[in-house]
């Protein structure tokens, strides 16, 4: 478990590279905001979360895999992650922040991700 990173993951670096190459500037991992969003645009009052499919319980093939050992623990852990993510999103929206969640599996199509990001940031 020590090898699992929570910051500067491959998917996160990909999104940051796309944003920077297209002229967007941002802050990273704001502890002041609930859920510590991966990418923060303070001036636009927008945040982006980049979720790993398995860790956050996405409904894609990778996210819906069931572990072979310690099934009860991992099921509870992933459910807790999903609940926490939803609460963070709702609180940020209540505070007036725009929230976008990107899933690891969606990042394969970089052009599509960039379009979503640009649309979200307008």
Beta-bridge partners for 27: 40
CA distances from 51 to 15, 23, 84, 104 (A): 11, 23, 12, 6
Q: Which residue has the higher pLDDT, 50 or 54?
A: 50
Confidence (pLDDT) at 61: 78
How do the domains of the chain map onto residue ranges?
18-27+41-121
Residue 3 pLDDT level (bands cut at 50, 70, 90)? low
The CATH number of the structural domain formed by 18-27+41-121 is: 3.40.960.10
The whole-number average pLDDT for the span 75-104 is 95
């Amino acid at each position: 478990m020590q090898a699992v990173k929570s910051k500067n993951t491959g998917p996160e670096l990909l999104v940051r590279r796309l944003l920077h190459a297209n002229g967007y500037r941002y802050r990273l991992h704001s502890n002041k905001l609930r859920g510590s969003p991966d990418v923060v645009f303070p001036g636009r009052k927008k945040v982006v979360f980049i979720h790993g499919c398995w860790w956050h319980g996405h409904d894609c093939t990778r996210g819906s895999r069931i572990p072979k050992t310690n099934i009860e623990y991992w099921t509870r852990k992933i459910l807790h992650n999903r609940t926490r993510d939803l609460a963070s999103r709702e609180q940020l929206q209540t505070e007036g922040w725009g929230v976008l969640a990107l899933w690891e599996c969606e990042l394969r199509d970089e052009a599509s991700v960039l379009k979503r990001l640009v649309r979200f940031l307008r």
